[in-house]
């Protein structure tokens, strides 16, 4: 197979990139080792920055973020049993949309297929050969080799990226682990709150999120080695409820459970020659603050402009600048995700001093116009053009 841009990974980054390239008349091939059904049914985060929604608008009515999703104009930070609203509209005049990532993927896949995109499921990349005509070495579901020769290869293949080895080496980057994780549930119940509640309690963190009028998503801080089967439904509700004092959670059957591990990672190199990394292949953030998919979309916006200049005009300047330009936002998002995480969770080895200091930190945010504005600005997303 020959194409202009070979894209490994049909997640939000890879699919959005193929769309932006197609808008400039640049042909691409997208492969993913998963089936379409797996991609469209894997539960991930649910918050879209305003800029992400605006970029999704460019795929046309296939994007249901504004029609099926819900605009949120604020969140609540809760600590010492009291809620404090961060009003996005008031602080920064922006908003976020609650719209699950797998729904975004359904929309993007439908739009790309309708546009005639060469999009291949069940094709696993084994490696990338760099050079002037880089190649992706892959195989299809039957094990039959597939070789894609391109002008440029993009690794949008997630945290276990195969493309990363060709750019940055397998584990070549800055890395941080956290001594806790999230236990996530989906349940059939009406919403317990109109907006998201990020709650810091002596028993640990909890997040009350939503999915729809009848399905809710909630998380509570747990040990990274927690076995999801170890809790009865009643125990799960007890764990959640004791971390959200002041709100009586509306309970219902829990039909999905998962444990999300917390990691921060940034690859040392984001581009080598004619291969570049975007999204989780380039970086990972812990989930607090919901930056993962939004950051992937911001990378892609930059890389699409760089590839346009390079492939259509032979101008390599934006491509040369891509690692530095992307890094600025990546490290701001790394900081924000780390900050939200460390401010809201209770570390297993926290001392009485740590605990009081953390409450002081939360109070300095919610009681300051500027503190609230910083949080709102970062949560709703920095401008994509910056
Ligand atoms: C959700 C996940 C997040 O990490 C977050 O910060 C907010 C919401 C969610 O899955 O709904």
Evaluate whether residue 303 is within a structural domain.
yes
Distance separating alpha carbons of residues 104 and 211, to the nearest angstrom: 13
Cα 349 to Cα 369: distance, rounded to the nearest angstrom: 32
What are the tokens at 5? 């841009």
Residues paired with residue 32 on neighbouring β-strands, in sequence order: 121
Six-digit token pair at 43? 């539960």
Pocket probe for ligand 1: among 42, 43, 45, the residue whose CB has the most ligand atoms within 8 Å is 45
Q: pLDDT below 50 — which residues of the chain? A: 386
**For residue range 238-253, what is the model confidence (pLDDT) as tens digits?**
999 999 999 999 999 9
Residue 217 CA: nearest ligand 1 atom is 11
pLDDT at 171: 64
Residue-range definition of the domain harbouring residue 56:
5-72+96-174+263-347
DSSP symbol at 192:
S
- Per the domain annotation, does 192 fall within a domain? no
Starting at the edge strand that comes first in sequence, how are the strands of the sheet with 47-49 ordered?
47-49, 96-98, 70-72
Residue 154 inside a domain? The answer is: yes
Residue 268 belongs to a domain: yes
Structure tokens at 177: 């682990």
Residue 341 resides in a domain: yes
Give the residues across from 40 on adjacent strands.
none
CA 288 – ligand 1 centroid, Å: 7
Q: List the residue whose alpha carbon is closest to atom 2 of ligand 1.
A: 45
For 268, the token pair is 């040392």
Are 282 and 267 a contacting pair, CB within 8 Å?
Answer: yes
- Is residue 45 lining ligand 1, measured as CB closer than 6 Å? yes
ipTM above 0.95, yes or no: yes
CB of 47 sitting under 6 A from ligand 1: yes
pLDDT at 385: 72
We report the CATH number of the domain holding residue 130 as: 3.50.50.60
Q: Calculate the CA 113 to chain-centre distance.
A: 23
Q: What is the pLDDT of residue 55?
A: 97
- The verdict on the CB of residue 330 being under 6 Å from ligand 1 is no
pLDDT score, position 170: 62
The conformation of residue 2, written as its DSSP 8-state character, comes to B
Q: Are 102 and 112 in contact (CB under 8 A)?
A: no
Strand, coil or helix: what is 188? strand
Task: Give the number of the atom of ligand 1 that is nearest the alpha carbon of residue 209.
Answer: 11
Centroid of ligand 1 to alpha carbon of 82 (angstroms): 21
Find out whether the beta carbon of 46 lies less than 6 Å from any atom of ligand 1.
yes
Question: What is the C-alpha separation between 267 and 271, in angstroms, rounded?
Answer: 10
Per the domain annotation, does 239 fall within a domain? no
Judge whether 20 lies within some domain: yes
CB burial of residue 161 (10 Å; 0-12, 13-18, 19+): buried
pLDDT at residue 244, as a whole number? 97
Active site residues: 72, 198, 287, 291, 379
Q: How far is CA 79 from CA 97, 117, 160, 203, 369, in A?
A: 24, 48, 36, 11, 18
What value does the CA radius of gyration of the chain take, rounded to a whole number of Å?
21
Residue 137: the pLDDT is 98
Mean pLDDT of the residues in the chain: 97
Distance of CA 291 from the midpoint of ligand 1 (Å): 9
Shortest CA distance to 130 belongs to which of 85, 167, 179, 92?
167
349 CA to centre of ligand 1 in angstroms: 25
pLDDT confidence of residue 169: 75
Per the structure, the count of domains in the chain is: 1
Q: Is the pTM of this model over 0.90?
A: yes
In a domain, 242, yes or no: no
């Amino acid at each position: 197979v020959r194409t202009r841009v070979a894209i490994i990974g049909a997640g939000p980054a890879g699919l959005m990139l193929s769309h932006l390239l197609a808008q400039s008349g640049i042909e691409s091939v997208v492969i993913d080792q998963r089936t379409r059904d797996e991609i469209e049914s894997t539960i991930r985060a649910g918050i879209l920055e305003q800029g992400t929604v605006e970029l999704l608008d460019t795929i046309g009515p296939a994007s249901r973020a504004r029609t099926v999703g819900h605009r949120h104009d604020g969140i609540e930070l809760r600590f010492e049993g009291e809620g404090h609203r961060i009003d996005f509209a008031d602080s920064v005049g922006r908003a976020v949309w609650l719209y699950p990532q797998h729904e975004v993927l359904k929309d993007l896949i439908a739009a790309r297929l309708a546009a005639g995109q060469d999009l291949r499921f069940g094709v696993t990349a084994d490696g990338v050969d760099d050079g002037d005509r880089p190649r992706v070495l892959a195989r299809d579901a039957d094990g039959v080799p597939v070789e894609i020769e391109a002008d440029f290869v993009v690794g949008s293949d997630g945290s276990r990226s195969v493309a990363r080895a060709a750019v940055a080496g397998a584990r070549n980057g800055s890395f941080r682990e956290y001594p806790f994780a999230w236990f996530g549930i989906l349940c059939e119940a009406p919403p317990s709150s109109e907006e998201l509640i990020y709650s810091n309690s002596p028993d640990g963190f909890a997040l009350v999120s939503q999915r729809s009028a009848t399905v809710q998503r909630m998380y509570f801080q747990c040990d990274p080695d927690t076995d999801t089967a170890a809790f009865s439904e009643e125990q799960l509700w007890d764990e959640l409820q004791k971390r959200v004092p002041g709100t009586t959670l509306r309970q219902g059957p829990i039909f999905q459970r998962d444990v999300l591990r917390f990691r921060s990672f940034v690859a040392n190199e984001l581009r080598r020659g004619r291969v570049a990394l975007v999204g989780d292949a380039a970086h990972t953030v812990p989930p607090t603050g919901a930056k993962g998919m939004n950051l992937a979309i911001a990378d892609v916006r930059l890389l699409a402009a760089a590839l346009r200049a390079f492939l259509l005009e032979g101008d390599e300047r934006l491509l040369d600048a891509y690692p530095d330009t992307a890094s600025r936002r990546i490290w701001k998002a790394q900081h924000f995700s780390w900050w939200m995480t460390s401010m809201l969770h209770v570390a297993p080895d926290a001392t009485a001093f740590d605990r009081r200091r953390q409450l002081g930190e939360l109070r300095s945010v919610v009681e300051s116009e500027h503190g609230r504005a910083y949080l709102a600005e970062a949560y709703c997303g920095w401008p994509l053009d910056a």
